[in-house]
Structure 1
Amino acid sequence: MFKSKEKWKSVDSMKRMFGVKKSAMLDYVLENWTEDTFFGYQFLNGVNPNVIKRCSKLPSNFPVTNWMVKSFLARGSFLQREIEMGNMFISDYKIMEGIATRDVNGQAVYVASGFCLFYLNSDKELVPIAIQLAQTPSKDNPIFLPTDSDSDWLLAKMFIKNTDYLLHQGVEHILKTHMLGEVFAMATYRNLPSAHPVYKMLITHFQSTIHINNIVQDYLFGPAGPLTMSSLGAEGAKELMKRGFSELKYSALCLPENITARGLDTIPNFYYRDDGLKLWAVLNNFVKGMVRHHYLSDGDVAKDPELQEWIKDIFMHGVIGNSFSGFPETLETTDELIKFVTMIIFTVSAQHAAVNNGQFDYYPWILNGSPLLIQPPPIIKDTSSMESVIETLPAVGNTALFTHAAWMSFKSNNMVPLGSNPDEYFDEAAPRQMLKDLQNDLLFLSEAINERNSKLQVPYNYLNPTYVENSITI
């Protein structure tokens, strides 16, 4: 199908692609992709749970009024009250503004750079209630609402998901896990001898990372690669990654701080947060034991020349000496070392699993998140139709390419699960016991997640330790 230039004729014809590679979750996506509740669910528990945040004040360039959204709020309530109660959430895609997009049939395609406003309703479901597709309000940039025509609202959601896909793939997935994983790996190879305790803790978490990164770069940015063929094209995707890199913060890689900074500590049914924080705590406990076994005081950390060269390498070559990033240039205490090593292990195992493993479930169905949309969104309401939705989709060949890319994220049978550190790296009894304790803690967490999932209509397994790989290998 890759070579086909044909346009899709109907939604039903697209479903014929899924005769072989399917999952229970993909079946659910096919049946529910138009539902607002499922759209909102994905911003918490889909492949990109990293953008949404609590809305404490509407941006001045997103002029949503109470009149627009009153019918979607609890009876008798109003917009400002719901904001003050903490029930409003927002995704802001300003990072996309001004990036040149790819030409398709001689015309530049459209990529949204605006906002999506979400409401946590009385059923504790997160639903979209207003979408603006560009940053600057104008008559050609309407605010779309669930009360608009079905096709207008659906197209608005599709353009948000297109932007979210591009941001997820370029920044949250490739940049913040694959590329940072390579930074950490190279600094470790260059500065820490194999007998060093930090080397022993980390080395199994870098297995195959540099190799897969070379493959990923050639594949994604190749002449017919998924990012090359996306709405941004290869150059636009690289520009997005540069912007994402310039905004990179150490605190955003530390999940407890990330969740608090986005105001998401208490939003219900946020399984990425729930499982992620528990997994962070398990890894932190393991790293704490290891570090304090080998470093008896803060002075031992500060005076370790190899460790200081390692962290300096990450600061200078990883974040290019950018103090704005918050990355440490030196490590002075055991607590600082514990936090940093925990962040590395979490990033290259759990965080990568969270933003990678769900691609097989959510992205094969192109209507749920297409890397490429070839028609612009409506600028005047009530002028679209379901035919407009189909016409906006990429051709059959590009759809097959994007679906294949999503299928490639599927884990092979020979994956090495988190915690499978060969104990030959540790000679002493105490570290060996800490490793066994880590494995037991991960097993207990996996059992708890399985129990929770057995009661959910849509299970969340991406941070189940059983399915989290020890390193980035795909």
Structure 2
Amino acid sequence: LPSCPVRVRADGPLGRLVLVRLRLEARTGLPDLDWHCSRVEVREDPQVQEFLCDRWLQPAEGDVELRSGKCELPLKLEKKTVPLEYSVYCTMHELKQLQLQQKLIRWRRFVDGAPQCVDVNSLAELGPNLSYSHKSPTPNVHYLKGFAGRTEAWASFAELEAVFAHIGHQNRTAGFVKAHWKEDWYFGYQCLNGCNPLMLHQTRLLPPNLSVTADMLRPFLSGGSSLEQELERGNVYLLDYEVLDGVPANVINGKQTYLCAPLCLLHLNRQGQLVPIAIQLQQSPGPQNPVFLPSDPGCDWLLAKIWVRCADFQCHQLASHYLRTHMLGELFCVATLRQLPEPHPLHQLLMPHVRTSLQINFQARMTLLAANGVFDKASGSGLEALPVLLSRASDRICYASLCVPEDLMQRGVDKLPQSHYAQDALRVWGALHRFVVSWVDLYYRGDDEVLQDSELQLWISDINAHSFNHSSGFPPTLRTKAEVSTFVTMVIFSCSALHASLNFSQLDFALWMPNAPASMCRPPPRVKGSLTEDDVVSFLPDVNSTCRILTALALLSQPAVDFVPLCHYKEVVFRDPAHRRLVEAVQADLAAISDDITQRNSQLELPYLYLSPGRVENSVAI
């Protein structure tokens, strides 16, 4: 918006000001418009007092009070050499503001056992300071919408290819997926660098419910090696979708669909490829739950991999994408608004990364996740499954899995040469962590000041009270500067880089639908050796539900025209010289990472783009 200074002359000296009170009044006959105020400056030569505002004012809001000064911790204010009345007044002012916020911003339970959300019934209740406009280029989905009336199954892979020729010819990644989706090496590659790189983990002990033997797997291991040796060397990996076990499957177009909870064993071979070597489609072993192997007939092995990809679609959409970025972003935003007053330095640092989550999540709950929405009409995990899956996934969340270095190390994917997601995530996390450490150092001189910050402790308590169970490993208190820095880095990474990697990649890997089917129309096979290619096609989603999913993904995968890149800030507080130096340093760090990723990608047949900082949005805004 263009800057329009408003000057007011005082009749006499003002003395020391504690706060400035603003009120926007509607005048009869004039438009009732909101006004945005950047700051108030009070000039009495040679001194200038600044009162930051950086918010929209509304006539219905009444008085808005601005406190003098910059970001400040409550304990620092108490120790200042200022009159006691000033310190007490500022403390009471902040308390009053928080009490007002807590009346306006309330918690609501969306799903039992999952992180809670903001309690609003319309976007208007958020007001202009928690709302935003998102200008995305509109993808051409006219062709896809033309299939809305076709409730039957696809006739053949040839028909799917004909549709793909119209919708996917300009998408390089989707073309690569279509060319290689049947190949075992590419199946493993997607576990590391696809739209859901969070499921794969190294295992040195086979799950007791996976019915495989060393003799069964010997033909698929590196020459002469045994299963025991490969487990010991750390070359065996597992995908386990047990969170889906028993989850009710959706009814689409009046027909029952099916879900399964596969176990998939993968082997890191001597060529550095991660390839699947065994797939069991259900958790409980038995004669009607065979283990599929690469040596099985081609259609059997292909269908088993498709079932795994369908399970991954459900976990990606709800457990990885929606829960770990959208729901967590809203959790952190609500707690910040309720417990950290605006002058608190962590309020100012966090809000640019979490503010947008309130609006986008409300819109998702009203559309995508509601009756007649995409999940209801086209996903195997529909409205009945949604609360079950979100609750279970929340119950399995642990704090370490949200912290990139610990997560990648615990899952054993941090050193895999082909894991571009892991490499890029570690570097982006490192840059964000250095930035946050420097920010924390500006305001906390030592760990004792962290413990004494009552607002910070109420913030983490509020997060714990409205998020996960007590075994999640979330810190009950924040005791040291290091703990604060790690936690805040986790918040920023989850709401920016992680969301970018999970959201903006999804159309690329799902545009060729058999690679990521949202549902399956027939139950998992109980025997091997009886399938044809036409049989495989008959398992896939109906035509209209396929196109409904692709239409939604096309809209969700579009970056905004006016998106804010990672660690770019429009807020006034970041113009402070000390803050500006930190921002310039992290932006330089991130620019160097972008350059390195561009250089690496120039050598790759399939570039990995999603964590290049210049493409990462600063918050969850779509």
Residue 191 of structure 1: CA displacement? 1.7
Which one-letter code corresponds to 2:158 in the other structure?
Answer: D
Matched, 1:37 2:185: yes
Structure 1 counterpart of 2:244, from 77, 82, 96: 96
Matched, 1:356 2:503: yes
Deviation per CA, 1:157-187, whole angstroms, max 9, x where unpaired? Answer: 0111111110111111101110010000111
Matched, 1:312 2:461: yes
Matched, 1:52 2:200: yes
In the alignment, is the contact (CA less than 8 A) between 1:181 and 1:347 conserved in 2? Answer: yes
In the alignment, is the contact (CA less than 8 A) between 2:245 and 2:261 conserved in 1? Answer: yes
Matched, 1:380 2:527: yes
Deviation per CA, 1:110-133, whole angstroms, max 9, x where unpaired? Answer: 312130000111110111110000
Residue 75 of structure 1: CA displacement? 1.3
Deviation per CA, 1:186-240, whole angstroms, max 9, x where unpaired? Answer: 1111122222110111111124211111122223223332322322321112201
CA distance in 1, matches of 2:529, 2:543: 27
Give secondary structure in 1 for the equivalent of 2:285.
Answer: coil
Residue 409 of structure 1: CA displacement? 2.3
- Equivalences for residues 100-179 of structure 1 within 5 A: 100-103=248-251, 108-179=256-327
Deviation per CA, 1:77-113, whole angstroms, max 9, x where unpaired? Answer: 1211111111110111111112222245776433121
Give secondary structure in 1 for the equivalent of 2:312.
Answer: helix
Structure 2 counterpart of 1:270, from 400, 415, 419: 419
- Equivalences for residues 72-471 of structure 1 within 5 A: 72-103=220-251, 108-228=256-376, 229-319=378-468, 322-410=469-557, 411-422=559-570, 424-426=572-574, 428-471=576-619
Deviation per CA, 1:326-349, whole angstroms, max 9, x where unpaired? Answer: 112221211111111001000000
> Structure 1: any 5+ residue segments left out of the alignment?
none
Matched, 1:3 2:146: no
Range moving further from structure 2, 302-311 or 289-298: 302-311
Residue 43 of structure 1: CA displacement? 0.4
The runs of at least 4 consecutive aligned structure 1 residues that moved more than 4 Å come to: 104-108
In the alignment, is the contact (CA less than 8 A) between 2:323 and 2:390 conserved in 1? Answer: yes
CA distance in 1, matches of 2:340, 2:254: 52
Give secondary structure in 2 for the equivalent of 1:169.
Answer: helix
Deviation per CA, 1:255-281, whole angstroms, max 9, x where unpaired? Answer: 111112212232221111111011111
In the alignment, is the contact (CA less than 8 A) between 2:280 and 2:292 conserved in 1? Answer: yes
- The TM-score with structure 1 as length reference comes to 0.96
Give secondary structure in 2 for the equivalent of 1:118.
Answer: strand
In the alignment, is the contact (CA less than 8 A) between 2:333 and 2:355 conserved in 1? Answer: no
Structure 2 counterpart of 1:63, from 211, 215, 240: 211
In the alignment, is the contact (CA less than 8 A) between 1:378 and 1:384 conserved in 2? Answer: no
Which one-letter code corresponds to 2:364 in the other structure?
Answer: V
Give secondary structure in 1 for the equivalent of 2:279.
Answer: strand
Matched, 1:16 2:165: no
Residue 51 of structure 1: CA displacement? 1.0
User: What does residue 6 of structure 2 align with?
Assistant: none
Give secondary structure in 2 for the equivalent of 1:400.
Answer: helix
Bigger share in strand: 2
Which one-letter code corresponds to 1:2 in the other structure?
Answer: A
Which one-letter code corresponds to 1:8 in the other structure?
Answer: W
In the alignment, is the contact (CA less than 8 A) between 1:166 and 1:237 conserved in 2? Answer: no
CA distance in 2, matches of 1:40, 1:20: 26
CA distance in 1, matches of 2:326, 2:249: 24
Give secondary structure in 1 for the equivalent of 2:383.
Answer: helix
Give secondary structure in 1 for the equivalent of 2:374.
Answer: coil
Q: How many residues align?
A: 472
CA distance in 2, matches of 1:107, 1:470: 41
Give secondary structure in 2 for the equivalent of 1:426.
Answer: helix
Range moving further from structure 2, 305-314 or 453-462: 305-314
- The TM-score with structure 2 as length reference comes to 0.74
Q: 1:427 to 1:408 in 2, by over 3 A?
A: closer
CA distance in 2, matches of 1:38, 1:218: 36
Q: 1:96 to 1:15 in 2, by over 3 A?
A: same
Residue 139 of structure 1: CA displacement? 1.1
Bigger share in helix: 1
Range moving further from structure 2, 21-30 or 236-245: 21-30
CA distance in 2, matches of 1:49, 1:428: 38
Which one-letter code corresponds to 1:318 in the other structure?
Answer: S
Q: Greater relative contact order (Cα 8 A, min sep 6): structure 1 or 2?
A: 1
CA distance in 2, matches of 1:405, 1:394: 15
User: What percentage of aligned pairs have identical amino acids?
Assistant: 39
Which one-letter code corresponds to 2:440 in the other structure?
Answer: V
In the alignment, is the contact (CA less than 8 A) between 1:446 and 1:466 conserved in 2? Answer: yes
CA distance in 2, matches of 1:140, 1:427: 65
In the alignment, is the contact (CA less than 8 A) between 1:112 and 1:159 conserved in 2? Answer: yes
CA distance in 2, matches of 1:428, 1:297: 23
Residue 65 of structure 1: CA displacement? 1.8
- RMSD between aligned residues: 1.5
Which one-letter code corresponds to 1:373 in the other structure?
Answer: M
Residue 423 of structure 1: CA displacement? 5.8
In the alignment, is the contact (CA less than 8 A) between 1:155 and 1:377 conserved in 2? Answer: no
Residue 429 of structure 1: CA displacement? 2.0
CA distance in 1, matches of 2:459, 2:579: 22
Deviation per CA, 1:338-395, whole angstroms, max 9, x where unpaired? Answer: 1110010000001111111110200122100111110122211111110111111111
